[in-house]
């Protein structure tokens, strides 16, 4: 039997798939835009990219990583905010069309597993992966096992309350961590600065084309190019990130935090203040070992690599 497997990473804009070998290398790829129109057309796009790759490779399993709450049966999507899945038997429907061993997994859990197996956290005992995108995703690998919780919805770190009665979050609560440390937060802070001090924000607005078009990637690009206002926004976000990591350390006591997602491309502009704030806010600081805080190694491939590897190792 082949040792190759396929991983699929479903995002709000694209469905990306790759053939992954036992060393975590992606040896072939296929991609489609994420279609509008609900669950059925999204599932059709998944089948299309998988069949495209299966036509070129013999594979032993397929892993599908999706943003949302995946029940512990690894078959049912309880809720996915971007993909219109609500308590849907997605694995059953995909398996019927693909006729292959198939695993359904949360995308952040898949990314955490990939970093543990092949990336920045190899050999670590307890790994907390924080994925900074539009919001915050999270994964936890402890003693070589992905932790999913009693109902499959663990590690939604972005929705722990960091600021009581703070900014309102799309989840309905206030003060969630992702309202202060995410791509959404970067864009909001840049737009607020542009309204209050157009001169300070001029370079970012120039890059974006308009105040309304200011986004997280624009802010990080401007900061990397030396824009002082953008760098300050990234530093502030880094401090919020570090504060949240300290809260997680108080509960989970990880050996390493791996920071991934698109916002993490800011690199040390984000990670340096995060480490400083983490050390400053850590419970029992000075009297306990301190977890490392590092950037993810696998970049945008982490989700599909992790989904493929989990499928290969759990569906046989």
| CATH number for 72 | 3.30.420.40
Residue 73 confidence (pLDDT): 85
pLDDT at 94: 86
The answer for residues whose C-beta is within 8 angstroms of residue 294's C-beta and 6 or more apart is 120, 121, 256, 257, 258, 259, 271
Q: Are 79 and 88 in contact (CB under 8 A)?
A: no
Q: Encode pLDDT of 88-138 as tens digits.
A: 888 888 888 888 889 999 999 999 999 999 999 999 999 999 999 888 989
Spatial distance between the Cα atoms of 160 and 185, rounded to a whole number of angstroms: 15
- The pLDDT score that the predictor gives to residue 98 is 86
Q: What is the residue range of 55's domain?
A: 5-114+301-314
Per-residue pLDDT for 211 more than 70?
yes
Residues 188 and 282 in one domain: yes
Q: What per-residue confidence (pLDDT) applies to 300?
A: 86
Residues 254, 131 share a domain: yes
| Same structural domain, 231 and 135 | yes
Same domain, 197 and 278: yes
Domain count, the chain: 2
Do 146 and 242 lie in one domain? The reply is: yes
Instruction: Give residue 305's pLDDT.
Output: 97
Helix/strand/coil for 293 = strand
* pTM listed for this prediction: 0.90
H/E segment holding residue 130? strand 126-132
Q: Are residues 161 and 281 in the same domain?
A: yes
Which of 231-235, 266-270, 303-307 shows the lowest mean pLDDT across its residues?
266-270
pLDDT for 72 beyond 90: no
pLDDT band at 281 (very low <50, low <70, confident <90, very high): very high
pLDDT of residue 172: 85
Q: Helix 228-252 vs helix 268-281: angle between axes, to the nearest 10 degrees?
A: 40
253, 234: one domain? yes
Do 286 and 147 belong together in one domain?
Answer: yes
Residues 6 or more apart from 311 whose CB is under 8 A from it? 5, 6, 7, 61, 62, 63, 101, 102, 103, 105
Q: What is the pLDDT of residue 316?
A: 62
Rounded mean pLDDT, 243-265: 94
- pLDDT band for 1, please (50, 70, 90 cuts): low
For residues 154 and 256, state if they share a domain. yes
| Mean pLDDT (the chain, rounded) | 91
What region does 87 belong to: left with phi over 0, alpha with psi -120 to 50, or beta? left
Using the predicted structure, report yes or no on whether residue 140 has a pLDDT greater than 90: yes
Neighbouring CB atoms inside 10 A of 202's CB total 13
Give 309's pLDDT tier (boundaries 50, 70, 90): very high
Supply the pLDDT for residue 315: 66
DSSP strand pairing (145-146 vs 136-142): antiparallel
Question: Distance (Å, rounded) from C-alpha 273 to C-alpha 236?
Answer: 8
- CA-CA-CA-CA torsion for 179, 182, 186, 191, nearest 10 degrees? -50
pLDDT of residue 82: 64
Model confidence at 38: pLDDT above 90: no
């Amino acid at each position: 039997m082949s040792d190759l497997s396929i991983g699929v990473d479903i995002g709000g804009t694209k469905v990306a798939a790759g053939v992954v070998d036992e060393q975590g290398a992606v040896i072939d790829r296929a991609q489609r835009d994420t279609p509008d129109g609900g669950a059925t057309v999204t599932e059709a796009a998944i089948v299309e990219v998988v069949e495209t790759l299966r036509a070129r490779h013999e594979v032993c399993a397929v892993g599908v990583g999706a943003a949302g709450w995946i029940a512990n049966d690894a078959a049912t999507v309880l809720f996915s905010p971007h993909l219109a899945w609500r308590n849907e038997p997605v694995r059953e429907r995909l398996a019927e069309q693909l006729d292959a061993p198939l695993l359904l997994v949360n995308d952040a859990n898949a990314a955490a597993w990939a970093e543990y197996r092949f990336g920045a956290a190899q050999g670590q005992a307890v790994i907390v992966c924080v994925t900074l995108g539009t919001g915050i995703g999270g994964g936890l690998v402890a003693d070589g096992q992905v932790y999913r919780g009693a109902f499959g919805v663990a590690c939604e770190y972005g929705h722990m309350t960091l600021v009581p009665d703070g900014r309102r979050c799309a989840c309905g609560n206030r003060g969630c961590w992702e309202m202060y440390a995410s791509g959404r937060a970067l864009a909001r802070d840049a737009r607020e600065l542009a309204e209050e001090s157009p001169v300070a924000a001029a370079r970012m607005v120039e890059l974006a084309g308009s105040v309304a078009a200011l986004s997280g990637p624009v802010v990080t690009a401007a900061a990397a190019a030396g824009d002082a206002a953008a760098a300050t926004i990234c530093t502030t976000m880094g401090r919020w990130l570090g504060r949240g990591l300290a809260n997680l350390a108080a509960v989970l006591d990880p050996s390493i935090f791996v920071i991934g997602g698109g916002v993490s491309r800011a690199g040390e502009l984000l990670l340096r203040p995060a480490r400083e704030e983490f050390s400053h806010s850590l419970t029992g600081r000075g009297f306990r070992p301190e977890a490392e805080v590092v950037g993810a190694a696998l970049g945008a491939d982490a989700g599909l690599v992790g989904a493929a590897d989990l499928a290969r190792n759990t569906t046989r």
